[in-house]
């Protein structure tokens, strides 16, 4: 059974802090890893993807991948109230299908 | 440039009724996907189409059928709706492997 696990939260951080969102996966053959932001009642939006071990930065977002530990994380620096949303992690094994975690709800308090 | 459009936005069905959810994209992408999302859960893949004329099953295909009518359109059909199919359905258009993913606004379906 392929699984992707996320802490459902809610994760609450103060404005300006770093939010750290975590995701673990069970299939060692996983090839690529994706983070999405989903506002309440809206559709998911792809914000980051990472293929290789290490860090990938895009603006205030950093994705971190550790394949040995089967762990991928998303860091949001200088968190803003507009970052309050559910963040979904997804893992790809075969180049086509994505397995999603249940999402972590993030709340950024002014 | 509308991206990905879905119709209808909301639908209420009675058990046993049938309906078709429509999805269209204007980005000339080869791949299109159908997902369902239940409360407090991530997305689960129902069916996908890697190119015009091809479709494949995802994690939860039972009770659904799909048609890739042309490159733009990918429809999802419920032949005999069941309460367990109450969910939000998202269509996605995919390109560059999985590096580009665009989701439609969703269809909120309730089966009574």
pLDDT in tens, B46-60: 999 999 989 999 999
pLDDT of A93 reads: 84
pLDDT value at residue B51: 92
Q: Given a cut of 80, is residue A58 above it in pLDDT?
A: yes
Q: How confident is the model at residue B96 (pLDDT cuts 50, 70, 90)?
A: confident
Contact B41 A103 (CB under 8 A): yes
pLDDT band at A2 (very low <50, low <70, confident <90, very high): low
Answer whether A90 sits within 8 Å of B43, measured CB to CB.
yes
User: What's the pLDDT at B1?
Assistant: 58
Q: Is B99 left (phi over 0), alpha (psi -120 to 50) or beta?
A: alpha
Percent of chain A residues topping a pLDDT of 90: 87
Q: Mean pLDDT, chain B, as a whole number?
A: 95
Above 90 in pLDDT, residue B109? yes
Asked if B38 has any chain A CB less than 8 Å from its own CB, the reply is: no
pLDDT of A1: 55
Q: Say whether pLDDT at A94 is over 60.
A: yes
In chain A, which residue's Cα lies nearest the Cα of B105?
A43
The radius of gyration of chain B from alpha carbons, rounded to an integer in Å, stands at 13
Compute the average pLDDT of residues A6-10.
90
Nearest to B41 among A34, A49, A102 (CB): A102
Please name the member of B40, B45, B103 whose beta carbon is closest to the beta carbon of A8.
B40
According to DSSP, the residues that pair with B19 across neighbouring strands are: B78
């Amino acid at each position: 059974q392929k699984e992707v696990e996320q802490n459902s939260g809610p994760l609450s951080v103060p404005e300006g802090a770093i939010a750290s969102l975590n995701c673990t996966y069970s299939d060692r053959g996983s090839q690529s890893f994706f983070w999405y932001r989903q506002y309440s009642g809206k559709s998911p939006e792809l914000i980051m993807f990472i293929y290789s071990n290490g860090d990938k930065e895009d603006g205030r977002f950093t994705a971190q991948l550790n394949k040995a530990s089967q762990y991928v994380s998303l860091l949001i620096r200088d968190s803003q109230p507009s970052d309050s949303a559910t963040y979904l992690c997804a893992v790809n094994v075969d180049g086509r299908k994505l397995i999603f975690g249940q999402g972590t709800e993030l709340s950024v308090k002014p | 440039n509308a991206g990905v459009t879905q119709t209808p936005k909301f639908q209420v069905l009675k058990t046993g009724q049938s309906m078709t959810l429509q999805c269209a994209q204007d980005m000339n992408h080869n791949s299109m996907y159908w997902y369902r999302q239940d409360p407090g859960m991530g997305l689960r893949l129902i069916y996908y189409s890697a190119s015009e004329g091809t479709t494949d099953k995802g994690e939860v295909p039972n009770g659904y059928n799909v048609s890739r009518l042309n490159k733009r359109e990918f429809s999802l059909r419920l032949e005999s709706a069941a309460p367990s199919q109450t969910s939000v359905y998202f269509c996605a258009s995919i390109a560059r492997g999985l590096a580009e993913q665009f989701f439609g606004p969703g269809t909120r379906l309730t089966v009574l």
